Structure 1
Amino acid sequence: MKRLIAFLLITICLTVSIAAQSSNQTKVSGSVKDPADAAVAGARIFLLNTKTRMEETTVSGADGSFAFESVVPGDYEIRVSAEGFAVQNQAVQVTSVGVNNLEIALGIGEKRVTVTAEVGQAEQTENVPQAVSVIGTNEILQRTTSVIAQIGEEEVGLNVQRTSPTLGAIVVRGLTGKNVVNYVDGVRYTNGAQRGGINTFFNLNDPSNFQTVEVLRGPNGAQYGSDSLGGTVNLLTKSPVFGDTPKFGGEIIPSFSTADRSFGSSVLLSYGTNKFGGYANIFGRRINTLRTADGIDSHSAITRFLGLPSDILYDRSPNTEFTQYGGSLRLNYAP
């Protein structure tokens, strides 16, 4: 009898919660235009809740108009893409009265970027007083040939430190370890380094799981804690997409490198409706022994300090091979 009463109470609470959430929903609408103020039809609009990471999508009509129904008030990021135009991002705050007549102008060859400078809140980069590096999906896939720490390559103020084939982290303005704090979707990610050393578990994150990486360069202790002396790294995962109609999606990303004859692949399958969105991602890679030029390891101590060839001690680069595999599953439901 007690179990039945408890079950009924839980059911009533959930029903009231869903009903309250539904009553607070509002609408976001607007139009997409080109630089000549003409309507852009067929543009794809994504509405991302920066707190829950739930994303909806729709397509602009013949007059360039679009609308999202049943939107919960909060901070959102709108991303608009259309063939022949640059991707446009815009931060939007949705109140209880909704957002109407929102005009988004697509430019040619220009791109506006938003960042989550505060956890769960999107802002335009020009409004953020701190230096920020935003690394997109394409850059993530191109740079990470073996570990995710390589996303820091080619970025101003960032370097990559690797103490072994699998251990490594991003160096922000010369600091790493306990002086750089890591987040995944705004949730603190342990680095296992209460010293000045390397971030132990950072490379357990697979690059194929992430859509964007944001790095705030410089201290921000009030927002992220005292261990953000060097900076803050925020890894943002891919979000399941909601749509007006049920839609399946998928991608296969193979990889191969000649330097170590490494190979691997990731496979992502997604499905979304107007109430449900989800995806499953599996990945695996094999990194083989690094093949140095002429068989000489320039990082070897006897080569660096004594000028002797490293092959008098060992052949090639031993113990630089490893295998990594895993997966992720994400499901979102909107009542």
Structure 2
Amino acid sequence: MFPRIAQLGLLTLALATLSFAQSERGLIAGTVTDQSGAAVPSAEVVVVNTSTNATFKVTASSTGEFSAPNLIPGAYRVTVSATGFKRVVQQNVIVAASSSVRLELQLQIGQVSEQIEVIGNAASVQTDTAKVSTQVQNKLVDELPLVVAGSMRSPFNLVAVAAEARGDGQRLSLGGGQAASWDATLDGHSVGTNRSGDTAEAALNTPSVEGLTEFSVDTNGFKAEYGQAGGGVMTFASKSGTNDIHGTVYNFLRNDAMDARGFFAARRSVYRQNDFGGTFSGPVRIPKVYDGRNKTFFFVAYEGFRNRVGANDVILSVPTPEMYRGDFRNWVDQANRVIPVYDPSTTRPNPNGSGNIRDVFPNNQIPTNRFSRTSSAIAGFGSTVAPNRGFAPGTSG
């Protein structure tokens, strides 16, 4: 299989700016109130991605409501300030793929220069939508074991952790829907093929598992844009570079040197499989020309697959050399009784009952002049597949 380059081409520039809404994006919404529970209108809400420092500013409405949409999955810091109130900072707000997070932020009377910092995860229960969703975030994507058995790892293997998923390949179904009726997107773009839903083919349109940051499986109440999906939708989000330089190298190895010999095998078969690759990411920087920190990032992922498998030892029955010459005198069953070979040209109605009868070839030998030209040519290869075990003639080889 050809090596797979994750992301768009060899190099993907991830711009930390607002773009058109995409299905893998999330949002942070909420309400700003004072200590009495009254709405605080026109409060300034600043949402910052802690990995890239990408900043989004919104203003609360007259009822204190705010919404920061189109956020890439990741960790955020939310700061709320208003005249006459202390500034509130909510740390570690996690936005998952295709999800929304709701915050209830309460301001206390004081100077804006004073600050209240809230440390801890925001509530992950979604009250803005009624959809049923399983979200798998970056830590699990990186650490979940995937079996490497004869083919490259597939992002769709991760979907098995969702309780709503059943089967694989063309048999995969979500949320009790029909097999192969699901939909899947990567960064807002469909990864389906023109054939019936098959995860093996759809995987060719996705990056390496190392290039994914997280994904979600929605099985009920998903958006109307997925109206063609039956049962559920898988939403994958790719990784992006950050202000720090990161890199990984991996090799999932299987080698016959570490295998035991099969009980019936004379020796170990060759089995050398390598699923290898690496990732590299960071800010785009050109010395004295451009500094892309907080603005422009890159992420590159490469995955290669090599699989060398030898033939397995198998015990089979093969014709003996004399059989290729039409001699079946030694062809016997397990009770050492000769197995008769009938002459088809002697087929005739049974005078003593129903059906037909035939005569056995004399001495259980087929005359060579009865061989067709094709059979004669094939019979010439008989000596190359001679029995190599000491069983009864014509029974095992």
Q: What TM-score results when the alignment is normalised by the length of structure 2?
A: 0.42
Structure exhibiting the larger radius of gyration computed from Cα positions: 2
Q: Name the structure where strand makes up a greater proportion of residues.
A: 1
Q: Name the structure where helix makes up a greater proportion of residues.
A: 1
- More contact order relative to length (CA 8 Å, sep ≥ 6): 2
